[in-house]
Structure 1
Amino acid sequence: MIPCFGQSSTTTNNHLRPSALDGYSVENTPQSGVQISPTVNLKRAYTLAVQTPSFGEIWTKIHQEIPSEQNVDVSEVNVIEEPLQLEEVLKPSREDIEEALCDIIIEDTFTQQVVNFFNHSEETARKCLLLSESVHRARHLYAPLHKLVDILPSECETVADSLSQDQCDSAFKVFLQFDKLDNPFPGIDSDSSFNDMHTSYFQLKEQLDLRIEHSRSKVHLLRHATKGSAICLLVAAVGVVTCAILIATPALIVLVATPAACPPCLPLKITKKESAHLVQLDDASRETFVLDNHLETLDCLVDPLHNSVEGFKRDVRFVLERSKDSYSIQEVLKQLRRKNHKFLDQLTRLEEHLCLCFAAINRARSILLNYLLIHQLHSS
């Protein structure tokens, strides 16, 4: 188990960003105010996320189109050339994070939960990579079926001789190969779910909520103390002026208010520092929330794709059980044509959300790592 790792962030306090994280950034991250928003606009967050350079960079790495003219051998779809490595989509690397956190002291529950979050987020990214490879295999797996759909005349309805014998033989061969291959997507009962990440999120959220509430109360008290000090200074100034006017009347000197009774004036930078602290916590809470929702979306997208492939297999077996029956082949191809665009759209949508998850993982880790480093620096 790795002790800790993450990525840098362009937070609302750029002047506080540790130099150990230079070179990594999170762009178009919505800015937070001191007041904590109880909800996150996920639709707006999605729109902003898909427009960021990080999303585009990850998309170019994980997305692969299968040219329609490419002659794909369905028997080789399990071979993925040069699969992506974790460090290509998860930045900075584990070694960089360990170096950045070498001076962090794990002395409280919150810090330990952050470290657990880092560990689970790496494992989550690894599972996302496996899902990305599943999408690649599914595209290769489906490419021969897609080509078969194209050979069926669009105006064809029930004419049994619409397909030539060679076309039937070719379709039967593809169906036979397709039936032998495993479903590239995990089933609902597999161990590929993100339960560990969800658990880590809720444990961290509990600690973040406690710190946010404490920081909000502290900011509230500091602001009132600052206002009280300002009023006190004003009263003191008036007292000095009054004293100068009445100095000739010794009997009235006792009426002059003394500034010694006023609370000391709090430096404005203390209030700003605590407000910045609250903003950092707000950022961390928001980004971990967005990540958790992206993972829930992934869970919802994978199961239908698994079921779609199983449906294709049932259609194919319907043909295989009838031994090159032209009518059966034609009917199955018509079924595949009706499902074609929906399945391809499902693959694209899953790929998009994988990119969003990688970006969200990087942002959440980045903000949390920044938080630990900044407050370690301030406490030292």
Structure 2
Amino acid sequence: MLHCLRPSQAGTPQNFHPHTLPFQGNSADITSRSGSQASQTLSLTNEYTSALQTSSYSEIRVFLDIETERPGEISQEQLLSQVLRPNREFVDEILQHAKPGFVTDLLWSFFDHSENKARLCLKLTQAIRRVRTLISPLDDLLDILPLDSETDSLSSPQCNRAFDLLLKYEQLENPFPDPESRNVHGMRHCFSDLNSQLESLIKKSNSRIRYVHWVTYGSALCLIGTIIGVLIAGIIIAKHAFIALAASTCLPVFIPSKVEKVEQSRLIQLDAAQRGTYVLHEDIITIERLVNHLYNDIEVNKRFIKSGLWRGKDMHSIMEVSRQLKRTNIYFQKQLTDLEEHLCLSFAAINRARAHLIYLIKLHQGDRS
């Protein structure tokens, strides 16, 4: 079952150990950097750019092609650690320094959901490989069978081979998730729920910023009015008394500016998380549609084969079933390719969203101090 919100205590990982980070350098290099805000921003920008470059479509294709060509040589979690940028360890190390609360929980949830989606994309990529492995012999046979003419017939070996491969197709377990299962639908629900919560929090944050603007503006007007009143009344105030009055009057002007800075940095992070969530949610809808089509096509083919082979190794039945599969195979293969390419693009979108948000979190961590 998918968990749509991560508990607050997850923000403090236990037994945390040093590790290699997905950006250039390691965590100690990043967290120990000192200097001006400009140098920090430049450093983070370089790391962010590096993350985007390593998250490219071409690199992800390479990793997935390796898994496809040499299945079983690398586990799913190992492959995930190679293609997911920034990875879980890097995210944990950054967010463990974030202030506990509902906002941080939502940021945790975004990274959890995006990681779960990447894991789903891997499973679907492996499903595509299994489908191609299972039906490739049948596809090869269909290409050489004399199916284009009604007068042609199959030899006995061809008939037996076609029957065996069609029966294998009919008996295969569908590698794609059932549209009624929660594999994809449940994840789409989690992204939708997270998107709604982020939108609500963004509205509240905007309201707080407007309130701070109003307080700051009111304090400024109050200060101006006080000074004008003192000048008009012609009251001569001792120097130390005037300083005390000005300081006490200006205090509300400077305090809201600090509050506003913190709220603005929070809003920037929430907005990035919401935009990323929205993009990944829409992408899940596309994946769900593509997967459902493939699942249904396989089920339709299985039922058609079963109904066509009820008479056993009847040559005419085998030829009719083979002709139908050959006609639909071109479109089916195109759907497999479309899904495969879309999954690579999904990985790239996941990595862009994760890298951008972690960049903003790290950039604004100093705003709380």
TM-score of the alignment, normalized to the shorter chain, above 0.5: yes
- Identity level (%): 37
Structure 2 vs 1, CA of residues 66 and 376 (structure 1 numbering), >3 Å: closer, same or farther? closer
2:44–2:363 contact (8 Å) kept in structure 1: no
Structure 1: any 5+ residue segments left out of the alignment? 29-51, 68-78, 232-238, 240-251, 255-259
In the aligned structure 1, how far is the partner of 2:121 from the partner of 2:334?
A: 18
Q: Does 1:169 align with 2:163?
A: no
Matches within 5 A, 1:187-206: 187-196=178-187, 198-203=189-194, 205-206=196-197
Give the superposition deviation at 1:194: 4.6
Over residues 25-65 of structure 1, what are the superposed CA-to-partner deviations in whole Å (9 max), with x where a residue is unaligned? 4659xxxxxxxxxxxxxxxxxxxxxxx96222222322589
Q: Does 1:361 align with 2:350?
A: yes
1:56 matched residue in structure 2? 58
The residue type paired with residue 285 of structure 1 is Q
Give the superposition deviation at 1:99: 2.4
Structure 2 vs 1, CA of residues 123 and 297 (structure 1 numbering), >3 Å: closer, same or farther? same
In the aligned structure 1, how far is the partner of 2:170 from the partner of 2:161?
A: 14
1:150 matched residue in structure 2? 143
Matches within 5 A, 1:265-304: 278-304=267-293
2:173 matched residue in structure 1? 182
2:88 matched residue in structure 1? 94
Structure 2 vs 1, CA of residues 230 and 179 (structure 1 numbering), >3 Å: closer, same or farther? same
Q: Does 1:121 align with 2:114?
A: yes
Cα RMSD over matched residues? 4.6
Structure 2 vs 1, CA of residues 14 and 213 (structure 1 numbering), >3 Å: closer, same or farther? farther
Structure 2 vs 1, CA of residues 281 and 263 (structure 1 numbering), >3 Å: closer, same or farther? same
Structure 2 vs 1, CA of residues 199 and 347 (structure 1 numbering), >3 Å: closer, same or farther? same
Q: Which stretch shows the higher mean deviation, 195-204 or 218-227?
A: 218-227
Matches within 5 A, 1:279-358: 279-358=268-347
1:168–1:329 contact (8 Å) kept in structure 2: yes
Structure 2 vs 1, CA of residues 369 and 3 (structure 1 numbering), >3 Å: closer, same or farther? farther
Pairs aligned (count): 325
2:57–2:345 contact (8 Å) kept in structure 1: yes
In the aligned structure 2, how far is the partner of 1:18 from the partner of 1:360?
A: 23
Where relative contact order (Cα < 8 A, 6+ residues apart) is larger, the structure is 1
Q: Does 1:209 align with 2:208?
A: no
Q: Does 1:130 align with 2:120?
A: no
In the aligned structure 2, how far is the partner of 1:196 from the partner of 1:145?
A: 34
2:261–2:367 contact (8 Å) kept in structure 1: no
2:41–2:363 contact (8 Å) kept in structure 1: yes
Q: Equivalent residue of 1:162, what SS?
A: coil
Give the superposition deviation at 1:339: 0.7
1:124–1:197 contact (8 Å) kept in structure 2: no
In the aligned structure 2, how far is the partner of 1:320 from the partner of 1:80?
A: 34
Give the superposition deviation at 1:142: 2.1
Q: Equivalent residue of 2:180, what SS?
A: coil
Structure 2 vs 1, CA of residues 306 and 15 (structure 1 numbering), >3 Å: closer, same or farther? farther
Structure 2: any 5+ residue segments left out of the alignment? 1-5, 14-20, 24-36, 222-227, 235-245
Taking structure 2 as the reference length, the TM-score comes to 0.69
